Amino acid sequence: MLLDPDDSQLLLVDYQSALMPAIHESGAVLANALRLARMARLFDIPSWGTEENPQGLGETVPELRPLLDKVVGKLHFSACAEGLAERLRPPARPAQGGNARSLPKHLQKAAPAPAESRNTVVVAGCEAHVCLLQTALDLLDEEFEVWVVTDACGSRSERNRDAAFDRLAGAGAELVTTEMVAFEWLRTAEHPLFKEVLALVK
C-alpha cells in the first residue's frame, strides 16, 4: 500500500513558537514539516495545522503558517476532541438534480473528488507523545488511514518520541519519513512535479 496524493490530507500538529525551542532536534523536525507543507502545496493536497493553547504556547511558527490552508486552535491534547475529524471529513454535499436539458451522463465531466473522499491523513507534530499521539489515535478510531511522518515529529526527549512511535505502530498507523511521502506522492520520475519535489528533498 502506497500513499496516494488524491486521497491524502496533511495535518501538522502544534509547531508553535514557544514550544519548538524545547523540542529535541527541533531544527530538523521543523525543516521536514516545512518540506511536507511545501509538497502538499505542489500537489494541491489540503493542509491543516493545530495550535495547542496558543495564548500559552504561541502561534504556529511564522515560516510554516502561510503554507497551511487552515489552522485550528485547541485546548484538548487531541484535536479530534474539538471536532477535527468532522472537519477532515465534512458532510457529503446533496446530489445536484438534473433537468430535461442536462447532458447525458457519458458526456458530463467528472465531478472533482469531494473532500470527504480523502481518507488518508499524513500527520506529523509536537509533542509526539502527547498531542500528536492522541490526535493520531483518535483519527484511527474515526477510521482514517493515518501515516505518521517520523522525521517531522518531535518531543522534548528522544525516549518520549520513540515511545509514541512504538504505540502508534501497534495501533495501526503507518510510520514513514518525509522522503517516503515525497516519492510515494510522485510514484515516477516522469511526474511533472518531480524536479520541484526533488529540489525540496535535497
> Within a domain: residue 100?
no
Determine the Cα–Cα distance for residues 121 and 192; give it in Å rounded to an integer.
23
Radius of gyration of the chain (CA): 18
Average pLDDT over residues 118-130: 97
**What pLDDT band is residue 24 in, cutting at 50, 70 and 90?**
very high
**Domain tally for the chain?**
1
**What pLDDT band is residue 115 in, cutting at 50, 70 and 90?**
very low
Cβ 80 vs Cβ 137: under 8 Å = no
- Full-model pTM: 0.87
Q: What's the DSSP call for residue 29? A: H
The parent domain of residue 196 ranges over: 5-87+115-201
> Within a domain: residue 20?
yes
Determine the Cα–Cα distance for residues 131 and 126; give it in Å rounded to an integer.
7
> Within a domain: residue 93?
no
> Within a domain: residue 67?
yes
Mean pLDDT, rounded, of the chain? 90
pLDDT at res. 202: 86
pLDDT at res. 112: 46
pLDDT in tens, 144-181: 999 999 999 999 999 999 999 999 999 999 999 999 99
Identify the CATH number of the domain in which residue 64 sits.
3.40.50.850
> Within a domain: residue 139?
yes
pLDDT in tens, 60-108: 999 999 999 999 999 999 999 999 999 998 655 555 554 445 555 555 5
Determine the Cα–Cα distance for residues 151 and 160; give it in Å rounded to an integer.
14
Average pLDDT over residues 24-37: 98
> Within a domain: residue 106?
no
> Within a domain: residue 95?
no
pLDDT at res. 143: 94
> Within a domain: residue 63?
yes
